[in-house]
Amino acid sequence: MEIQHSPLKDCFVLKPRIFKDHRGTFYETFNQNLFKEVSGKEIDFVQDNQSTSTRGVLRGLHFQTGEMAQSKLVRVIRGKVLDVVVDIRKGSKTFGQHFSIILDDKEQLQLFVPKGFAHGFITLSEKSIFSYKCDNFYNKASEGGILYNDATLALDWHLPKEDFIISEKDLELPSFLDITG
């Protein structure tokens, strides 16, 4: 496994070494020792989540606050998504910056999203199965979010807006400036 720095501080791309033969494939999805060696962070994942989506489903941008903030390791089990993160840590040298990456079932890249980042994705394939490993438990009272089409962030979601499928809850999220002051 190779762990690469992204343009955002503390956010990493994990690239597995995939072994293929006539039976199929095998690869390591996470190695805590290697992750700590490269990132300097010791992560203890306590909750795994999985979602399924159809083309155009946009989920996000979400985050957890306070003591319930979560770091996540995300990947696509099936399909293809555009994954987007935004650094919302005041005082961070990459505060307000965003990074996007294609995650799919071919390359099997993963993205480590640290605490203090908003996260979202849109499904680009006909269907996707998306997996999240979290280092803290979900807490409804600690959830927050940023509107997907926030003017300050000006995110490119790679699909025409008329193809978006967004929950009512996500359509009512505040702007970046509203949550960061």
Active site residue 27: no
> What's the pTM value of the predicted model, to 2 decimals?
0.95
Q: What is the mean pLDDT of residues 92-120?
A: 97
Rounded-to-integer distance, Cα 20 and Cα 73, Å: 24
131-181 pLDDT, tens digit per residue, is 999 999 999 999 999 999 999 999 999 999 999 999 999 999 999 999 988
Catalytic: which of 62, 98, 119, 148?
62
Residue 75 pLDDT exceeds 90: yes
Q: Is 103 helix (H, G, I), strand (E, B) or coil?
A: strand
Provide the b/e sequence for 112-143 (b: ≥16 CB within 10 Å).
bbbbbbbbbbbbbeeebbbbbbbbbeeeeebe
Looking at beta carbons, which pairs linking 160-167 to residues 24 or more positions away fall under 8 Å?
A: 163/55, 163/56, 164/56, 164/58, 164/122, 165/54, 165/56, 165/57, 165/58, 166/57, 166/58, 167/59
Active site residue 132: yes
Catalytic: which of 98, 119, 132, 148?
132
14-58 pLDDT, tens digit per residue, is 999 999 999 999 999 999 999 999 999 999 999 999 999 999 999
Residue 103 pLDDT exceeds 90: yes
Best CATH choice for the domain 2-180 from the list 3.50.50.60, 3.40.50.920, 3.30.365.10, 2.60.120.10: 2.60.120.10
What pLDDT sits at residue 181?
A: 80
Residue 76 pLDDT exceeds 90: yes
